[in-house]
Amino acid sequence: MRLQWKMVTSWPTNFPGLGTGAAKLAERITQATGGRITVKVFGSGELVPPFEVFDAVSRGTAEIGHSAAYYWRGKAAAAPFFCAVPFGLNAQEMTAWLRFGGGLELWRELYAPFNLVPFPAGNTGVQLAGWFRKPIAGVADLRGLKMRIPGLGGDVMQALGAVPVNLPGAEIFTSLQSGAIDAAEWVGPYNDLAFGLHRVAKYAYYPGWQEPGPTLEAMFHKPAFDALPDDLKAIIEACCAAVNDEMLAEYTARNQQALDLLVREHGAQLRRLPEDVLVALKRAADEVLEALAGADPFARRVYDSMRAFRAQAQAWHSVSEEAFYQARR
């Protein structure tokens, strides 16, 4: 068996972390299968536009897609839960929920009608809250604010009077520069520095309430994946898991290095969101998530599963991760 597969992505070719993560996945699959599957990567817009990756893999134009599930809410209301949930699971918790808490089974059930088989294949860790052209002093400053923020985070911002805009990464800089948007969240220092967002919006806010553990996806055209022998399926699963872990390690290593450059050499203003803003965002997030779950039965199943797992993980982390961080200071 010798297969030549195409991978389409939502990221610019070889963009740090995201694009290189997709390229590493393609390389790992090609190498680990001994060339039985050869994967060629097409960056954002090279074969299909960034927001058409889902459809391209669904119909078999490409056998693999690398993207983020929150882009597909228009196709499946529960999709954003498998990428990032405001005030939801962090990277460690997301991976645990997907692998051991029933999350992956729900994800595959959701994608099955679209001829897709998803795997977690990357995570950036907690992101920045975004880059703003003007400082945020309180909740009132969010009203009318045009912000590039996708997924459920955009819904939360809208609930507080902001105007969410969904843009591919490659369009963020020019949109900020032209004034088409007032703020944008992308990823974090490592990726934001690469896009030069500090040159058009100097206020960087944290914490990244909107994307605490954003999982990237590798989705496979189901007929192509199902036709593989068991050993190749196992190799693909192992490659996705390796890239998922490796990407998080890379962001953990690179983000502070990039943040130092942004603050010390480029004059970026790093600020914590005011407490009243965080409280308002959390309240709005709870309302948005409950409304979504109330409107869609499958979203209700996913939200309940994720919320139960979050409570379990939070209870343990209060005496493990959080307690250790406090003790280490």
- Give the number of domains in the chain: 2
d(CA 207, CA 62): 36
DSSP string computed for 276-325: HHHHHHHHHHHHHHHHHHHH-HHHHHHHHHHHHHHHHHHHHHHHTHHHHH
- Mean pLDDT over 278-294 rounds to 98
Q: Is residue 323 part of a domain?
A: no
The reported pTM is 0.96
286/243 same-domain check: no
Tell me the pLDDT tens digit for each residue of 12-59: 999 999 999 999 999 999 999 999 999 999 999 999 999 999 999 999
- Mean pLDDT over 163-192 rounds to 97
245/138 same-domain check: no
* pLDDT band for position 1 (cuts 50, 70, 90): confident
Structure-token match 């970026």, residue found: 268
CATH number at 72 reads: 3.40.190.170
* pLDDT band for position 318 (cuts 50, 70, 90): very high
218/136 same-domain check: no
Tell me the pLDDT tens digit for each residue of 211-250: 999 999 999 999 999 999 999 999 999 999 999 999 999 9
Summary mean pLDDT of the chain:
97
Q: Is residue 172 part of a domain?
A: yes
95/74 same-domain check: yes
Q: What range does the domain containing 289 cover?
A: 130-211+267-301
Q: Is residue 141 part of a domain?
A: yes
DSSP string computed for 83-108: T--TT---HHHHHHHHHHSSHHHHHH
134/233 same-domain check: no
Q: Is residue 320 part of a domain?
A: no
CATH number at 138 reads: 3.40.190.10
* pLDDT band for position 280 (cuts 50, 70, 90): very high
